[in-house]
Structure 1
Amino acid sequence: MATRNSKTIIVTAMSIVTFTLILFAGSVQGLEEKSIEFDKQLNLINKPPLKSFKTQHGYIIDCIDIYKQLAFDHPLLKNHTIQMKPKTIPKENGRDEEASSTKLYKSPINMPKNIKCPAGSVPIKRATRKDLLIAESFKSMGLNHQTNTTQHTNIVDPKGHYFAVVVYRDHVYGASSRINIWKPNIKDGQLSIGTTWVVTGPKEDTNSIQAGWAVHKLLSPSDATLYTFWTGDGYQKTGCYNVLCPGFVQVSTQIALGQVLTPSTHNGAQTDMLISIYLDRPTGNWWLMYEKEPVGYWPKDIIPRLGEGATAVSWGGEIYRPVGTVSPAMGSGELPNQGFGKSAYIMRIKVDKDYNHPQFLDPKKDSLSTLVTQPKCYNAQYGFQAAAAWGYYSFFGGPENCLL
């Protein structure tokens, strides 16, 4: 009897080991297939550089022939003529220039002096497997962003996305603001952003552009980075984070999407960046401006609905947490009532309203509202200060570990 029991135990153990090995082999095969797929994608994304530089943060900047960048792999851009600079730049109402002398902030980004691309090329951050891993997080965050409600829900989103933003609902041709930069505490797999969204169209066919800063351990373990995201079909098949797919046309030799940004410090030096997104009327292209530098544009062919302008803009923060993890910090990690130096801010909120006279002007106060999906953890508020540095502004954010 003992021998029979021993044989049974041995057979059972061997079956368990065999089953485990089969699972492990399947897992390894799955990882190998994923690895091969990533390598194929990276070979398509990363074009042959004319020159390359490794930054102090560890990532690589490639100098890519401006006419051979990934954008032109898009089937709608095969015969596209590069627009080297915008034909129109919306005028400021004077507040931006005045604010530059207030010394409230310092510049958060500069191309390292040792990085200078050859003439005819543009700096592009080399894509890695890590970039591909987080791409879906950005896509799903955009998919869940709603601008057609003012409801404060306090509902736990099973997908782990939460917003705290100020929303402008009216027809516009552009938006501009100074976005305060932080590096909130996050854990593996989590994402926290401070950004501007420009949106039009129904949910299933949304055309949207985002630009701001993002914090994710795969992007940079302890830094915020400059990011963009776009879609031309409601985040279904088109669009991507930064330049991981054909679409965005880079023209700047000074700024690269994905560059590390210098963050603010609590009760210390504050850094922010002037981000402007607007429709260049003569061409129908949407341009991204960083401070006064035209970074590049999204051609009208890939975001056709935005060719007639946007119907909503929002400014603020968003977080993502994988299922089973506590919630990360948003903004500075402080609620908006802590004020300047502690809470994350977005100041000099402006919109470009007049098609025939491009100009960034203050929005009407009654056209602004807030969208907060978990107010017990995160919040946003807005106001107006006549002092030159602020104009219409918003504070947003909230602490980590609020949702378990």
Structure 2
Amino acid sequence: MIHILFFVWCLVNYYDNYGVHGIHHTLQEDLELERQLQLINKTPVKSIHTKFGYIVDCIDIYKQSAFDHPLLKNHKLQRKPSFQNSFEKASVMNSSTKSIFGLEKDECPRGTVPIRRTTKNNLIQSKLLSNNHILLQDLPGVHRAEVYLVGDGPYYKVSGANSIYNPKVSRNDQMSMSHIWVQNGPKDATNKISIGWHVAPQYHGDDTGSYVFSSWTSDNFNKTGCFNLICSGFVQTHPTKYIGARLDIVSIYDGLMMETEISITKDLKGNWWINYLGENIGYFPSKLFSNMNSADQVGWGGRTFTPLNTLSPQMGSGYLPDNNFVRACYFRNISFQNDSRTDYGPPQYATEKNQDKPSCFGVHYYGNLGHELGYSLLFGGPGGDCGN
């Protein structure tokens, strides 16, 4: 009888932990996870335990896991992008200029860069996310409220100032995100880089806070790419700001506005640099991509993901656009670069919406509003029963 009860307890515990996703880890799989962790997490010069519960390791800039990628074995570290355009510091509307994410100055010793430590759970959840990737084109359960440029480019930069919120999710396996992106190639072989902020508790150890994220792929997430630094590829260069950081402060509906200026820019050597708050965080080397000499699409907006037959989470502030920039989530001063390498605001006739459930999530592009707003859009919504 005791053995039967023990078996039943094990069976219940198995389904509690893995049954929803159909994943069972054998000893061999656990050993493989440990092997991957050893490859990803390099020996730190110093480790910092953040107030949010995760650990940031200070890694020798030349020994970060990016250089383990087989395509980057002979890659020479680029400390700065090879282009002339300088970045201006982003303003933070109606707030102080306190940094909203990253480490304090000099927390990591000179010559090292902050890398968020990857856990076994991060690896497990990243495998689940790769099967249900929010950035795939036509995945059931994904909803979109985005604006993108019509035409084939070529494009070399996308940028904008994005308000930061903390949309509510009702399940651990839901995700809500705000992002900009560059991509190139056909659907089944898309090369893509996306950066922004997201709420992804499954990925962040059940934490429902808002986090800085990046993702990339060279084949529409078939065999390549990942969120953040789960796979090697992204080269970290900034001494305090890092991918995977939790955002300290978020906007309040009809109140305090917090924002970050973000951009993705290709430099003259072919590397794609990501920039937050007017500072270059690091880059994706050109050799990672099969077809990314330029982008044939750039865009701005939000996405959500929820499993089938469940209510969708909020997007942005949780409110539909209502022409008020302190209510719905916004991108302001959006721009792109073409062959001229000059920043342009997208004219309305050159944009299209990617909006699949307007009763749940909306997006409205206003064109040039002038003054501090410039070329701007509002997006987001309450989610709910969106017909997943």
Q: TM-score, normalised by structure 2?
A: 0.87
Match of 1:125 in 2: 116
What is the CA-CA distance between 1:227 and the residue it aligns to? 0.2
Is 1:30 the counterpart of 2:24? The answer is: yes
Match of 1:111 in 2: 102
Higher helix share: 1
What is the CA-CA distance between 1:70 and the residue it aligns to? 0.8
Letter aligned with residue 100 of structure 2 = I
The number of equivalent residue pairs is 373
Post-superposition CA distance 1:207-250 (Å, at most 9, x none): 00000001022426231000000001121111111111111111
What is the CA-CA distance between 1:256 and the residue it aligns to? 0.8
Question: Pick from 172, 175, 186: which aligns with 1:202?
Answer: 186
Aligned-residue Cα RMSD (Å) equals 2.9
Aligned pair in 2 of structure 1 residues 268, 314: CA closer, same or farther (>3 Å)?
same
Question: Pick from 146, 149, 167: which aligns with 1:168?
Answer: 149
The CA distance in 2 between the partners of 1:232 and 1:101, in whole Å, is 34
Is 1:388 the counterpart of 2:368? The answer is: no
Residues 55-74 of structure 1: pairs in structure 2 closer than 5 A: 55-74=50-69
Is 1:289 the counterpart of 2:275? The answer is: yes
Query: Larger radius of gyration, structure 1 or 2?
Result: 1
Aligned pair in 2 of structure 1 residues 30, 271: CA closer, same or farther (>3 Å)?
same
Match of 1:10 in 2: none
The CA distance in 1 between the partners of 2:109 and 2:126, in whole Å, is 30
Range with bigger deviation, 216-225 or 33-42 = 33-42
Match of 1:144 in 2: 136
Letter aligned with residue 367 of structure 2 = F
Match of 1:40 in 2: 35
The CA distance in 1 between the partners of 2:103 and 2:343, in whole Å, is 31
Match of 1:333 in 2: 318
Aligned pair in 2 of structure 1 residues 333, 22: CA closer, same or farther (>3 Å)?
closer
% identical aligned pairs: 35
Match of 1:399 in 2: 382
**1:380–1:394 contact (8 Å) kept in structure 2:** yes
Match of 1:371 in 2: 354
Match of 2:286 in 1: 300
Matched residue SS, 1:132 = helix
Letter aligned with residue 63 of structure 2 = K
Aligned pair in 2 of structure 1 residues 183, 102: CA closer, same or farther (>3 Å)?
closer
**1:90–1:360 contact (8 Å) kept in structure 2:** no
Could you list the runs of 5+ residues in structure 1 that have no partner in the other structure? 1-12, 147-156
**2:334–2:374 contact (8 Å) kept in structure 1:** yes
The CA distance in 1 between the partners of 2:143 and 2:329, in whole Å, is 16
Post-superposition CA distance 1:151-201 (Å, at most 9, x none): xxxxxx6x3111110111331111010111111000211100000121110
What is the CA-CA distance between 1:338 and the residue it aligns to? 5.8
Q: TM-score, normalised by structure 1?
A: 0.84
What is the CA-CA distance between 1:360 and the residue it aligns to? 1.9
Letter aligned with residue 236 of structure 2 = Q
Match of 1:267 in 2: 254
Letter aligned with residue 136 of structure 2 = N
